[in-house]
Amino acid sequence: MKLDTQSFTYGLESIYKNSRMEVQEDSYDTLEIQKHIRQRWINEKVDLLARNKWTTQQKLSYALPKLSSVVDYAFENIPFYHEFYKSHGYKLGEIRSVDDFKCLPLLNKGILRSVKTEDFIPRGISKDSPEFFWSSTSGSSGVALPILRDIGSVSNNVLSYYRMFQQLAGDEFSPDRWIYNIHHIRSWTSSMCGDYPTFTLNDIVEPEEFVRHLEQIRPVILNLLPSYLPVLEPYATRISALKMKAIITNSEASSRHEREYYSAIFNTYVLDEYSSEEVGIIALECPHRHYHPDPDQVYVELVDIESSSGDANLASVYCTDYLCRTMPFIRYDHGDIVSTGGHDAYQCKCGKYGRTIERVEGRKDDCLKTLGGHYVPTAIVTNTLDSHFNATPHVESFRLVQKRNISDLDFLYVGSDVNLVEALVASFASELKRILKMDVNLKTIRVDALPTTASYKRKKIICEA
């Protein structure tokens, strides 16, 4: 029998009301699929965990034949890829090295907007077949992309999440321990036939009731949007007493300063998951504050780009989900910019090898720009914003907007009268001038609520330039 994890509301009204929504994963959260994933977890768990300690060469040796295979499969079976690669002179079997693979053209949302859905799935597959499952991106870029998955791609994605929970919680990630998820999606099953149960809440409406629910569930892992962290701060002592192994943030931008601050007050690691609906987990922040790309399901390319300073090590991120056969994303550019560190032979203190992501700077459209046309790492600006405004009682929420004239910026905030924040804003403006290496005109605007974005996601920085 399938466990109804959402029934564990313990008579708490706000928990009941906000756990009744359907999430897109419900389409494949059947008992049969839970059995399939549970059996795979039992059979593959040891190998899945061992791959986290692979050297860079082991990762490449594993990935190359799979990259070649998915490219040839897409070329032969998916109309869009056949025409796309044919127009660039590709011939079957030409991927014999990573350098060959990197010669393929990039894919992005701009290209996909003009592609019919039926041309982006394999010939012979009915998009209405009950064997396949539809989801979509959040639409944060202005366009929500439909995504088709089968049982193979679903279970691969789910197992990557259970591996993440296992590596963070260790032996305490046992079949009887709960995972608590606060989100409009749940990227894994509600349980594995009753083992590893997950409770999903779509919003924290009554923080006191939510904390009481946490105390009943006593989860080993809490998964949430970073914008909920300040909501929970008044309950830090009670949350700390739960001794959770980790709090995982995702979907919205957060700074290392913010995560370290809440790690201290909640007495557990607050770590960031870098992922997308298109390909799943891209990289997970380890306790030593480095992001490590997953080696065995998504091939991650970090391609250096020019920045405003020589020490930023900025890179674009191109991803390939080489195990997918329904709607594979190959050399897919999310539009993200990251700061990188390490090198191929580098070994982190957590035991993982290879080049690292130090900060997820955000979308290119969200990175501030200088007069020279260079990108400025978003995390540097976000850290500065957080250090100035997170601790003050006069600012509840805020956003920095760079206008079309790049020296003009608006600081929007919800909070106390402008005269109570003027000194902080002036201090921030001085620091922003140093970061951007140019004079800035910073306008302070108090609002009742921050304007909504194209998606549900919190955005601290927006560039209109």
Q: What is the DSSP string of 341-372?
A: E--TT-B-TTS-BS-EEEEEEEEGGGS-B-TT
Other Cβ atoms less than 10 A from the Cβ of 118: the count is 12
**Which residues, other chains included, contact 188 with Cβ-Cβ below 8 Å and sequence gap of 6+?**
25, 157, 158, 161, 162, 198
The helices-and-strands tally (H runs, E runs) of the chain is 13, 18
Q: For residue 310, give both structure tokens.
A: 């020589």
pLDDT of residue 393: 87
Q: Which domains does the chain have, with CATH numbers?
A: 5-294 (3.40.50.12780), 367-463 (3.30.300.30)
Please state the separation of Cα 34 from the chain's center in Å. Answer: 24
pLDDT of residue 76: 97
pLDDT of residue 456: 55
Each residue of 85-105: b (16+ CB within 10 Å) or e? Answer: beeeebeeebbeeeeebeebe
pLDDT of residue 364: 66
Q: For residue 150, give both structure tokens.
A: 């089968």
Task: Output the pTM of the full model.
Answer: 0.81
Give the whole-angstrom CA distance, residue 157 versus residue 294.
11
pLDDT of residue 465: 78
Each residue of 5-28: b (16+ CB within 10 Å) or e? Answer: bbeebeebebbeebbeeebbbebb
What is the residue-wise DSSP string for 1-60? ----GGG--TT-HHHHHTT-S--GGGGG--HHHHHHHHHHHHHHHHHHHHGGG--HHHHH
Q: For residue 277, give both structure tokens.
A: 């609906």
202 phi and psi angles, rounded to 5 deg: -90, -15
pLDDT of residue 142: 47
Task: Answer for the pair 145, 134: CB distance below 8 angstroms, yes or no.
Answer: no
Q: For residue 447, give both structure tokens.
A: 């609002």
Per-residue model confidence as pLDDT tens for the chain (465 residues): 789 999 999 999 999 999 987 776 777 889 999 999 999 999 999 999 999 999 999 999 999 999 999 999 999 999 999 999 999 999 999 999 999 999 999 999 889 888 988 899 999 888 777 778 877 665 554 456 788 888 888 899 999 999 999 999 999 999 999 999 998 788 889 999 999 999 999 889 999 999 999 999 999 999 998 889 989 999 999 999 999 999 999 888 788 889 999 999 999 999 999 998 899 999 999 999 999 998 889 999 999 987 655 556 889 999 999 999 999 999 999 888 899 999 999 999 999 999 999 988 777 666 788 887 777 767 678 878 988 898 788 998 899 999 999 999 999 999 999 999 999 999 999 999 988 889 999 999 999 999 877 655 678 888 887
How far lies 100's CA from each of 67, 96, 300, 309, in Å? 10, 6, 15, 31
Give the whole-angstrom CA distance, residue 53 versus residue 29.
31
**Which residues, other chains included, contact 350 with Cβ-Cβ below 8 Å and sequence gap of 6+?**
286, 287, 288, 290, 292
pLDDT of residue 159: 95
Task: Answer for the pair 135, 147: CB distance below 8 angstroms, yes or no.
Answer: yes
